[in-house]
Structure 1
């Protein structure tokens, strides 16, 4: 990682912890609490409202919008579309998590509707999900990624070029592309695959970063880096008697400590002047 990129990361985290941006989630009920807590640990302020009658108003007051397709239904899709349109009107970044689109035609078609309408700033998904968005067909089971990924960078670049937004394809190696630029990142820990919500929480972190910068490629990369470093830190905290449950608990502490470390505005108060 270059010194210039590290410097940008530090400034974004400092701004995030200083401004405490509001991150509006329309997310799935499996990991909603996890996403709210990870946003708080990073220094942001989560809000979760999915009633169609209020999503536009709440989105208009937010700094970023997360659309997570994990537990989708017709009512929630209507609310997501209204929220995304409100975000576009206010130039608010929208981060899409296309959970399980390779397994469901309903999810896939809705994700493509958002993408082709130009309503998405960042897509954060695993390889199988992002590949389904390119091939425009749902083929697969569950929501997990194919473990034999070899062309994640191609998928990230092609997805970004086709839909005009940043694609972050995450897994053992992470590939982030704006179509014109690309980053390849390594980090994290194998225990991330043993808990629910790792991807959803990473999406939230990308949104937290996007809320305070106009550079979505950098925001997506930083969200992924924070999760990777937090996972490594959480694993280091563990004792021999611990397992995935304690790892997940310590992951929140990891995000808190990682973002505290990156927070140059508070480490160097003169930077505020």
Structure 2
């Protein structure tokens, strides 16, 4: 994966000929972004080999390249699935870590479904085999309490295990493998760290329904005052709600529409017939 100030690039390498469905790949990437709380705002299929996914913060381009030369392999691959993430408003180091985290989760999803031979990560020279990438992106259920202790296990293993006929324990083997991934291989260690440290900017899960801009909040109050000219109790209740929970234009518009509907029914004397029709529909 090649990093610049604005762009992050990675890819999947296929040595043999494969039939890749760009639409299916794009849909799976969209599902992954939804799980990461990155709301997809646009999905464009530009050709049989290219698809573009847009969110409010970045654009992800997926491109299938045939006979692509992979520098780390020294020979061309039959297919190379290139993923290019471009952030619209880069914010130095924080956004770079966020881009890496998003790309890592997308690569993990595509790796599970497409089973590539290699995964390109960090820079063009960093090429992980399929097995190495799976090990680096699969976190154990329970992390070691102290990573330094895990590194010491690797260094002390030859001295502390003179037992020739005893297999190592599960916990001991887990610590050794964890230390190797974290300490010995910087590529796999960095990739595992990306999954361990969630750098993705997720929206706050609060119940704040207040409009974000001043003109929208002003529109809510103007609509509430207008509603008070026709139905003062509804306008008063809506004003109290706006003061307690915040101004929400959608709620105000829905309240005004329902109030206007029932005022119309009352004016033409069709309220009873309308309620009976509604009751018959509801059973």
Provide TM-score, normalisation by structure 1.
Answer: 0.29
Provide TM-score, normalisation by structure 2.
Answer: 0.28
Q: Bigger radius of gyration, 1 or 2? A: 2
Higher relative CO (Cα under 8 Å, sequence separation at least 6) belongs to 1
